């Protein structure tokens, strides 16, 4: 009960402190963290926000190459990503920013704190490699721009990533067992799931099958791996950028919102039918992430979940069960319709991860700091930052020719190994840049096979006008106004969604719900998004970016006999 206890009291007081506080005094121009000379070389403080598995930066051999490249000594400050949000609050508001920060700040911070960061666009003259990246991959520049300035340089992952983080998987072994075809429509899916439930497809004699499970939708709005990907059946081009959580999407350059759309109502009703048929996990809205992800792994070699939404089969179901599952493209909402279908798309920010590295405005050793930033965009350092040091994570076969290695320690799985030795997908850089040949082990391109089934769905999206891009950002004032109404909208929408699916009543309550959302200024929210989106599209046009072409640049991808694959970029 905490009530009569000092700890709670302290917690309360601390809460009050944090709330009442976060009062801020900016010491603009306060001293940057100690730039002292040691053995004649400049010292640069680099704050890195990293996965908790990553070793101390100084222990990673590739950081020595980085120091050689900048001709400086790096003083590392390291924070696990889970602690960063709170640390960031305190230090930003106090104006305390390290010389260079990797993975710490994003477009949400530029609004209030742009004065603390250096506009890298003005410094491109001393960063030839970053300049070349921006020139040859112009979308990298577009996604990095904020109000005409560049406060963060990107991680360009083209060729290594996917078009979408979320895919729909169904247990093919169960389908075969029950002699069912792969479902293509919502109706077929429903009867398939019903068969999963009643016909013991895993053959263990127990009715332990959960036909459909998904990550519990969050109260803060639609997130990743949620069932709303089914909306692609109606041709709604869902994406992951600003406002996606509260139902925003873009079509032909116009921002729209599906929360009040009839197709959304149909989607909820359909899930309601599934719930009533008992084919959705009873815990789907209440289980936490760990219970969900453990459930997917079944019992040894016996699968218990028929269908879910996730990144790849092996990540979701574990190596023992992964090959039972296949990816399922967007289904037809209604068997008669041939309307174009789409799939949830966030390929822009998967391939061009914005704001991976920033420099403080008051940096003392500016030259050295810029060299650090630039070094990541050379292929040697970029690749090592992404996959691990030479001979630990990567083998260098020759000039710009690399092979990603399997873990030397056999007890480690490949992804642990990568996270321990590198910044992984948190690394700044351009990895498969012109001239680079990169050979990857099978796990690293598993997602390519998954994505093949979505080719047509993605092709139905015009990447130049149907996507809310990850880089779309608000001004400080817009952000303030937007976030004020957003909580009300997402909480109403998400709680109604959960309630209608599990308890019904959507027909009676729909009109009241629409009014409710409007009273939370939904229209104004759309306007705000539109303004931000228009600015972004304008920059895209100014820079002549055609994302349809640039997202999938001309890379060659060849599978090798030993199960690896080689990606090479033969452009100049």
Partner 1 sequence: MSNITGTLDGAPAPKVRPRRPGAPKTPRTKRRIQQRTAGDWAVDIVLGVLIALILAAVIYPLWFIVVASFSDPRAVATGEVTLLPQGFGLTGYEMILADDRIWTGYRNTILYSVLGTAVNLLVTLPAAFAMSRREFRPRRIIMFLFAFTMFFGGGLIPMFLLVKQLGLLNNMWVFILPTAFSVFNMIIARSFFETSIPEELREAAALDGLSYFGYFLKIVIPLSSAIIAVIGLYYFVGHWNDFFTGLIFIRDQELQPLQNVLQQILMANQSSAGAGGSLGQSAGDAQNLADQIKFGVIIVSTLPILVLYPMLQKYFNKGVMIGAVKG
Partner 2 sequence: MTSRITEEAVVAASVHALRTEPKRRRLAEHFRRYWQLWAMTLPAIGFIIVFAYIPMYGIQLAFREFDVTKGLTGGDWVGFKYFEQFFNNPQFGQIMLNTVNISLWTLVMGFIAPIILAILINQIASPRIKGFTQTITYMPHFISTVVMVAILQIFLAPGSGIMGRFFGDTSLLGDPGAFAHLYWISEVWQHTGWNCIIYLAALSSVDTALYEAAKIDGAGRLQLIRHVDIPALLPTAGILLILNMGSVLGVGFEKVFLMQNTLNIMSSEVISTYVYRVGILGNQFSYSTAIGLFNALVNFAFLILANYIAKRASNTSIF
Which residues of the shown chain bind partner 2 in the complex (CB under 8 A)? 1-5, 7-9, 11-12, 15-16, 18-28, 85, 89, 92-93, 95, 108-109, 111-113, 115-116, 216-220, 282-283, 285-288, 290-291, 479-480, 483-484, 487-488, 491, 494-495, 497-499, 502, 519-520
Q: Extract long-range pairs of 396-402: CB within 8 Å, 24+ residues apart.
A: 397/437, 400/435, 400/436, 400/437, 401/436, 401/437, 402/436, 402/437, 402/438, 402/439
CA distance 121 to 563: 42
Alpha-carbon gap, residue 156 to 356, rounded angstroms: 10
Closest distance to partner 2 from the beta carbon of 496 (Å): 9
Contact between 408 and partner 1 (CB under 8 A)?
Answer: no
Task: Select from 78, 187, 194, 401 the one that contacts partner 1 (CB under 8 A).
Answer: 78
| Residues 290, 215: Cα–Cα separation, whole Å | 10
Q: E strands of 153-213, at which residues?
A: 153-156, 167-171, 210-212
- Binding partner selected for residue 432 from partner 2, partner 1, none, CB under the kind-specific 5 to 8 Å limit: none
Q: Find the shortest distance in angstroms from Cβ 28 to partner 1.
A: 12
Residue closer to partner 1, measured from CB, 57 or 506: 57
Interstrand relation of 437-440 and 565-569 (parallel, antiparallel or unpaired): antiparallel
What are the C-alpha distances in Å from 539 to residues 2, 7, 68, 144? 53, 52, 36, 11
Residues in CB range of 231: below 8 A, 6 or more apart: 238, 258, 263, 264, 267
Q: How far is the CB of 557 from partner 2 (least distance, A)?
A: 39
Please name the residue that has the structure tokens 């920060």: 101
Give which of 478, 491, 493, 475 is closest to 526, Cα–Cα: 478
- 289 is in the binding site of which of partner 2, partner 1, none (Cβ under 5 to 8 A by kind)? partner 1
Minimum CB–partner distance for residue 542 and partner 1 (Å): 27
Strand 149-150 with 153-156, pairing:
unpaired
502 binds, among partner 2, partner 1, none (CB under 5 to 8 A by kind): partner 2
| Given 235, 426, 428, 429, the residue binding partner 1 (CB under 8 A) | 426
Interaction partner, residue 484 (partner 2, partner 1, none; CB < 5-8 Å by kind): partner 2
3-state class of 100 per DSSP?
strand
Single out the residue of 37, 59, 218, 527 in contact with partner 1 (rule: CB under 8 A): 218
Task: Provide the minimum distance between the beta carbon of 427 and partner 2 in the complex, in angstroms, as a whole number.
Answer: 25
The entry of partner 1, partner 2, none near residue 112 (CB within 5 to 8 angstroms by kind) is partner 2
Name the segment binding partner 1 (CB under 8 A); options: 66-74, 85-93, 129-137, 378-386: 85-93
Residue 293 near which of partner 2, partner 1, none (CB within 5-8 Å, type-dependent): partner 1
Q: How far is the CB of 136 from partner 2 (least distance, A)?
A: 34
Selected binder of partner 1 within 97, 161, 369, 467 (CB under 8 A): 161
Which residue among 96, 188, 261, 509 contacts partner 1 (CB under 8 A)? Answer: 96
538 in contact with partner 1 (CB under 8 A):
no
Does 112 bind partner 1 (CB under 8 A)? Our answer is no
Which residue in the set 43, 66, 244, 296 belongs to the binding site for partner 1 (CB under 8 A)? 296
279 binds partner 1, rule: CB under 8 A: no
Q: How far is CA 335 from CA 242, 327, 461, in A?
A: 33, 20, 22
Please tell me whether residue 7 binds partner 1 under the rule CB under 8 A.
yes
Crossing angle of the two packed helices 506-519 and 476-503, in degrees rounded to 10: 170
| 227-249 burial code (b ≥16 CB/10 A, e <16) | bbbbbbbbbbbbbbbbbbbbbbb
Q: Of 75-83, 454-462, 495-503, 547-555, which part binds partner 1 (CB under 8 A)? A: 75-83
Q: Among all chains, which residue has been given the structure tokens 């990907």?
A: 229
Rounded alpha-carbon distances, angstroms, from residue 527 to 232, 240, 243, 381, 540: 24, 18, 11, 43, 20
Position 82 contacts partner 1 (CB under 8 A): yes
Tell me the C-alpha distance between 310 and 295, whole Å.
Answer: 13
Residues 316-355, one symbol each (x = binds partner 1 by CB under 8 A, - = not), give x-x-------------------------------x--x--
Edge to edge, the sheet with strand 100-102 lists 73-80, 43-50, 100-102, 352-359, 153-156, 429-430
CB of 571 to partner 2, least distance (A): 40
* Cα 231 from Cα 63, distance rounded (Å): 45
Residues that bind partner 1 (CB under 8 A): 6-7, 9-10, 13-14, 16-25, 27, 51-53, 56, 77-83, 86-87, 89-91, 93-94, 96, 161, 165-166, 215, 218, 223-225, 289-291, 293-297, 310-311, 315-316, 318, 350, 353, 413, 415-416, 419, 424-426
């Amino acid at each position: 009960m905490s009530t009569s206890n000092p700890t709670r009291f302290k917690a309360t007081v601390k809460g009050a402190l944090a709330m009442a506080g976060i009062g801020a005094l900016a010491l603009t121009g306060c001293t940057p963290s100690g730039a002292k000379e040691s053995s004649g070389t400049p010292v640069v403080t680099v704050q890195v926000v990293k996965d908790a598995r990553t070793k101390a930066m100084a222990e990673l051999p590739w950081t020595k190459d980085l120091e050689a490249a900048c001709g400086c000594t790096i003083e590392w400050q390291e924070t696990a990503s889970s602690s960063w949000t709170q640390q960031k609050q305190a230090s930003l508001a106090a104006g305390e920013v390290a010389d260079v920060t990797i993975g710490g700040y994003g477009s949400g911070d530029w609004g209030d704190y742009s004065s603390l960061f250096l506009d890298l666009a003005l410094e491109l003259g001393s960063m030839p490699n970053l300049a070349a990246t921006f020139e040859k991959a112009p979308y990298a520049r577009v996604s990095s721009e904020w109000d005409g300035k560049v406060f963060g340089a990107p991680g360009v992952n083209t060729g290594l990533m996917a078009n979408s983080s979320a895919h729909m998987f169904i247990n093919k072994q169960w389908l075969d067992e029950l002699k069912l075809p792969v479902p293509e429509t919502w109706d077929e899916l429903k009867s398939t799931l019903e068969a999963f439930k009643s016909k013991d497809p895993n053959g263990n004699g127990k009715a332990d099958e959960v036909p459909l499970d998904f990550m519990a939708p969050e109260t803060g709005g639609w997130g990743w791996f949620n069932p709303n990907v089914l909306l692609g059946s109606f041709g709604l081009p869902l994406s992951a950028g600003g406002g996606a959580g509260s139902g925003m999407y873009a079509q032909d350059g116009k921002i729209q919102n599906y929360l009040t759309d009839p197709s959304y109502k149909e989607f909820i009703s359909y899930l309601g039918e599934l719930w009533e048929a008992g084919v959705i996990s009873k815990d789907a809205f209440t289980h936490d992430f760990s219970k969900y992800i453990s459930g997917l792994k079944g019992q040894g070699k016996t699968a218990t979940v028929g269908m879910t939404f996730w990144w790849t089969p092996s990540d979701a179901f574990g190596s023992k069960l992964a090959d039972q599952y296949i990816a399922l493209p967007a289904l037809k909402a209604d068997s008669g319709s041939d309307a174009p279908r789409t799939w949830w798309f966030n390929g822009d920010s998967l391939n061009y991860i914005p704001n991976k590295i920033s420099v403080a405005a008051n940096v003392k050793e500016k030259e050295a700091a810029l060299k650090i930033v630039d070094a990541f965009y050379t292929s040697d350092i970029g690749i090592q930052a992404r996959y691990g040091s030479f001979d630990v994570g990567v083998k260098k076969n020759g000039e710009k020719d690399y092979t990603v290695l399997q873990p030397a320690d056999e007890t480690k799985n490949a992804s642990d190994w990568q996270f321990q030795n590198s910044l992984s997908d948190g690394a700044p850089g351009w990895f498969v840049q012109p001239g680079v040949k990169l050979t990857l082990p099978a796990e690293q391109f598993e997602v390519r096979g998954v994505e093949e089934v979505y080719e047509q769905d993605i092709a139905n999206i015009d990447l130049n006008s149907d996507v809310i891009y990850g880089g779309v950002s608000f001004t400080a004032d817009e952000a303030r106004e937007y976030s004020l109404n957003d909580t009300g909208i997402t909480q109403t929408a998400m709680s109604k969604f959960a309630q209608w699916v599990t308890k019904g009543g959507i027909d009676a309550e729909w009109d009241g719900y629409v009014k409710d959302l409007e009273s939370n200024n939904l229209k104004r929210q759309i306007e705000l998004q539109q303004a931000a989106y228009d600015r972004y599209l304008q920059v895209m046009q100014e820079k002549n970016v055609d994302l349809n072409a640039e997202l999938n640049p001309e890379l060659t991808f060849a599978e090798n006999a030993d199960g690896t694959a080689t990606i090479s970029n033969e452009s100049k």
